[in-house]
Amino acid sequence: MTKSALHNELSKDQPGLPAGLEAKDRLAVALDFPSAAGAFDLVDRLEGACQWLKVGMELYYAAGNGLVEALRGRGYSVFLDLKLHDIPNTVAGAVRSVTGAGAGLLTIHAGGGAAMMRGATEAADVPGGPKLLAVTVLTSMDAAELAGVGVTASPGNQVLLLARLAKEAGIDGMVCSAGEVEALRKVMGPETMLVVPGIRPVGSDVGDQRRVATPEVAIARGASMLVVGRPITKAVDPGAAARAILQEIERAAAG
Domain presence at residue 141: yes
**Could you read off the pLDDT of 131-187 as tens digits, one per residue?**
999 998 887 788 898 889 888 888 888 889 999 999 999 999 999 888 889 999 999
Measure the CA angle with vertex 94, ends 93 and 96; round to 5°: 65
pLDDT attached to residue 32: 93
Domain presence at residue 34: yes
Identify the band that residue 204 occupies on the pLDDT scale cut at 50, 70 and 90: low
pLDDT at 8 over 90: no
pLDDT attached to residue 80: 97
pLDDT attached to residue 13: 43
Domain presence at residue 15: no
pLDDT attached to residue 207: 52
pLDDT attached to residue 208: 45
Tally of domains in the chain: 1
- Write the DSSP string, 193-245: EEEE--B--TT---TT-SS-B-HHHHHHTT-SEEEE-HHHHTSSSHHHHHHHH
pLDDT attached to residue 137: 84
pLDDT attached to residue 46: 95
183-189 contacts, C-beta under 8 A, 24 or more apart: 183/156, 183/159, 184/159, 184/160, 184/222, 185/15, 185/221, 185/222, 187/160, 187/163, 188/163
pLDDT attached to residue 20: 59
CATH code (residue 44) = 3.20.20.70
Domain presence at residue 164: yes
Which residues are bridge partners to 108 per DSSP? 84, 134
Q: Is 120 helix (H, G, I), strand (E, B) or coil?
A: helix
**Could you read off the pLDDT of 30-52 as tens digits, one per residue?**
999 999 999 999 999 999 999 99
Which residues are bridge partners to 55 per DSSP? 80
Domain presence at residue 181: yes
Taking the C-alpha atoms of residue 235 and residue 176, their distance in angstroms, rounded to an integer, is 25
Q: Is 83 a catalytic residue?
A: yes
**Could you read off the pLDDT of 62-106 as tens digits, one per residue?**
999 999 999 999 999 999 999 999 999 999 999 999 998 999 999
Bigger pLDDT: 15 vs 251: 251
pLDDT attached to residue 156: 84
Domain presence at residue 125: yes
Domain presence at residue 13: no
Backbone φ and ψ of 235, nearest 5°: -75, 150
Q: Which of 83, 167, 186, 234 is catalytic?
A: 83
pLDDT attached to residue 2: 38
Domain that holds residue 115: 3-8+21-254
pLDDT attached to residue 86: 97
CB atoms within 10 A of CB 198: 25
Section 231-238 average pLDDT: 95
pLDDT attached to residue 157: 87
Domain presence at residue 14: no
